[in-house]
Every structure is written in C-alpha cells, then in structure tokens.
Amino acid sequence: MTHSEGRLTLDINSPAPTFKLTDVFDREIDLASYKGKRVLVAFFRHAGCPFCNTRVHSLQKHYAELKAKRLEMIFFFESKKELLLKSHFHKEISPIPLISDPDKVWYDAYGVESSALKSSKSHFTSFFQKVFEAKKKGLPVHWMAGEESIKTIPAEFLMDERGIIRKVHYAKGLRDRMAIDEIEAFAELG
C-alpha cells in the first residue's frame, strides 16, 4: 500500500484485499473462491451515474468473451441494494456480481478516491454528453439518493489467478477508465 493524496492506495504485485460478501442478488461472493481465474474488480459511483452506467454497459458487452478467457468481473456500487434493484438495467447485470457498499468499507480498503475537484471538472466538461449517451442506450440517469457522494472517483483492478493485483487504475476523472483492449489482453495473456 502507498499513501497517495491523503489515502492508502493499492500497489501492483501485492495481494488484493479479500472479501466475502453477499451481492444484491443474494449470492455469496468470496474473492478467495476466484483463485485460478483472473478478475476485474471495478468500483463505481451511484446507481444513476451516467459515467458509470455507460462503463458497466460497455463491460457487459464483453462479458461472454472475457469469461471464455477465464476473466471474471465483480462490480461495486455505493448505492443501497434496494436502489440498485429498482433499476431494470442493474437487475440485468447478473450473472456479474453486483455488490452494494453504501458505507464504502471496500471503497476505503481499495483506496478509492473522493475528490470534489475531479468530479466537478468531469461534470463541467462532459456531463451532458454522457447523459445523452446513457439516455440513448436506455441506461438509468438520476441524481444521487441518500448517502451517495458526488465526489467518488471510480477505480478498477485486475488480479491474476493467485489474487495478486497486476494492474491498478485510479481514475483521473469520471470518464477515465482502463482501456477495454488492456482488459482483453490481460484476460488472454495475464
């Protein structure tokens, strides 16, 4: 772990923090049970975030191809389970595990950043374009509910078959994500 901008961040070549949680579909998700497979763990913002929902939509389109290469995906949202399950789109994320973490326990464990400045810049420069893109694809877009935060900045992690972090992507803004090509190459070659 490294100290970065006042928070602990994860380093490549270190073991991923393990969790044993229940996803919104009431399935037990034990990261230790993924040994022998490569894993993408992605942390998103709230259930109505157009930046996150377009990313989830994109990853879903690659699900079968990545699974065939033995790469699994696990998604975290800061929204409460009930809010995620109100959305037809989020219900269809299954079979990909979708974990609700409104207290951000695992966001903190993985060093997910909270930045009003980065969030504001993204909203100012590209919010309306992302809303339009999300709406065009039929994806949910709505304001935050409850304790969700406008300051959460997404992060993505690729782990090898032994649970070792091989790639870390702490986003620099709400549109900044790991390239799909990079994920596909990791799924294929490790």
Summarize the confidence of residues 153-168 as an average pLDDT: 96
Higher-pLDDT residue of 22, 93: 22
pLDDT category of residue 117 using cuts at 50, 70 and 90: low
Global pTM reads 0.86
Q: How many domains does the chain have?
A: 1
* Percentage helix, strand, coil for the chain under 3-state DSSP, each rounded to 5: 35, 25, 40
What CATH number should be reported for the domain holding residue 158? 3.40.30.10
Degrees to nearest 5, angle at CA 146 with 142 and 148: 70
pLDDT category of residue 127 using cuts at 50, 70 and 90: low
- Alpha-carbon gap, residue 60 to 83, rounded angstroms: 20
Residue 30's domain spans which residues? 2-189
